[in-house]
């Protein structure tokens, strides 16, 4: 049920653009004014995702490559490359790991290493994650102490592809607590499969359960199962086509939020739903939007989120 609550807050809680947002990027270049019907001509980059309350994400570039993403509470994602492929992502900041719709007070730091296989397709991501917490004040002190290490985790993700089309077929994730002085093994899994209509993701089904066995390689029956459906795609361009696929995968994996699986699609779904498939009578939560586009057919507003571009 936690993912359902998060899903509602993530999409239904967004609202319209704040008129005071800057229309210049960090280099002083003009951005696409969403209230200006002239649009932006020529090559472009996605610069910001914003609501009337905050900037969801700001993308910074080195040449044509996105190298830094600034998100809520000044969280920083640094992206490194080998050639034109992402080789490593480092994150420091805050995430909503408990799916309550608010950023956790515990801070998170993780490093992801990317491995590519045949044809240059992403084959595996290995992650080391640390979580930090400020201890409560000890009287007579009135302020919390400095951030201290709460725990460490290791995660591993493997990717399978549809042979005929090379589309992403499934993601198998494993995770476990990394305790000093003990032999590490994976204890939890997440298995997600994708289906498509044309090139667009139409459904993602996510299973979550426990791993057992000496090596943590025995998959137990899932404890949670969620279905994410994406309907009524338009024929216009998604803002996320301007971001590297490996980054989009990393963004989803950071909180196991497969409600964002439409990020892999070239077009935009006008309706989305989430169904808790473990309940006796599953009842989907369905949300819809009317998109706004610019003259170059890029989507500029949907589900209350506004997308600002800059010249590339």
Q: Quick check: 113 and 123 in contact, CB under 8 A? A: no
- Residue 174 in any domain: the answer is yes
Residue 194 CB-density burial (10 A; 0-12 exposed, 13-18 middle, 19+ buried): buried
- Residue 47 in any domain: the answer is yes
- How far from 289 is each of 19, 34, 280, 305, CA to CA, in Å? 21, 17, 29, 11
How does DSSP classify residue 279?
S
Question: Per residue in 99-120, is it b (16+ CB within 10 Å) or e — as a string?
Answer: beeebeebbbbbebebeeeeee
- Residue 77 in any domain: the answer is no
**Number of compact structural domains in the chain:** 1
Strands (E), 184-304: 188-197, 200-212, 218-219, 224-233, 269-276, 285-288, 292-293, 299-302
- Residue 71 in any domain: the answer is no
- Residue 66 in any domain: the answer is no
- Residue 69 in any domain: the answer is no
What's the pLDDT score for residue 8? Answer: 47
* Helix, coil or strand: residue 188: strand
Q: Quick check: 192 and 205 in contact, CB under 8 A? A: yes
Q: What is the pTM of this model?
A: 0.88
- Residue 271 in any domain: the answer is yes
Range of the domain at 271: 2-54+82-87+97-311
Indicate the helix (H) or strand (E) that contains 38: none
- Could you count the other beta carbons within 10 Å of the beta carbon of residue 156? 14
- Residue 30 in any domain: the answer is yes
Q: Per residue of the chain (312 residues), give pLDDT as tens.
A: 445 544 544 444 333 333 334 555 555 555 554 444 456 777 899 999 998 788 899 999 999 999 999 998 789 999 999 999 999 999 999 988 877 777 888 899 999 999 999 889 999 999 999 999 887 777 777 777 778 889 999 999 999 999 889 999 999 999 999 999 999 999 999 999 999 999 999 999 999 999 999 888 899 999 999 999 999 999 999 999 999 999 999 999 999 999 999 999 999 999 999 999 998 888 899 999 999 999 999 999 999 999 999 998
What's the pLDDT score for residue 3? Answer: 54
């Amino acid at each position: 049920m936690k993912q359902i609550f998060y899903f509602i807050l993530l999409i239904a809680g967004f609202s319209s653009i704040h008129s005071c947002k800057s229309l210049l990027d960090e280099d002083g270049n003009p951005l696409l004014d969403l209230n200006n019907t002239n649009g932006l001509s020529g090559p472009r980059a996605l610069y910001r995702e914003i609501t009337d309350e905050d900037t969801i994400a700001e993308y910074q570039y080195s040449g044509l490559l996105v190298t830094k993403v600034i998100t809520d509470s000044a969280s920083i994602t640094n992206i490194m490359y080998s050639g034109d492929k992402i080789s490593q992502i480092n994150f420091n900041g805050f995430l909503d790991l408990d799916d309550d719709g608010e950023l956790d007070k515990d801070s998170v730091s993780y490093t992801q290493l990317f491995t590519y296989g045949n044809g240059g397709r992403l084959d595996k991501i290995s992650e080391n994650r640390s979580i930090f917490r400020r201890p409560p004040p000890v009287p007579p002190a009135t302020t919390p102490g400095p951030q201290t290490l709460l725990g460490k985790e290791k995660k591993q993700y493997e990717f399978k592809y549809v042979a005929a089309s090379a589309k992403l077929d499934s993601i198998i994730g494993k995770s476990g607590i990394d305790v000093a002085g003990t032999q590490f093994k994976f204890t939890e899994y997440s298995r997600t499969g994708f289906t498509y209509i044309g090139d667009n993701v139409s459904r993602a089904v996510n299973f979550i359960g426990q791993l057992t066995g000496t090596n943590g390689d025995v998959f137990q029956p899932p404890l949670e199962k969620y279905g994410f459906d994406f309907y009524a795609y338009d024929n216009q361009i998604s803002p996320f086509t301007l971001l590297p696929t490996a980054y989009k995968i990393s963004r989803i994996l950071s909180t196991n939020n497969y409600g964002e699986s439409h990020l892999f699609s070239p077009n935009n779904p006008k309706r989305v739903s989430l169904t808790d498939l473990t309940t006796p009578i599953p009842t989907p939560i369905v949300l819809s939007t009317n998109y706004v586009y610019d003259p170059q057919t890029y989507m500029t507003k949907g589900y209350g989120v506004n997308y600002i571009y800059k010249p590339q």
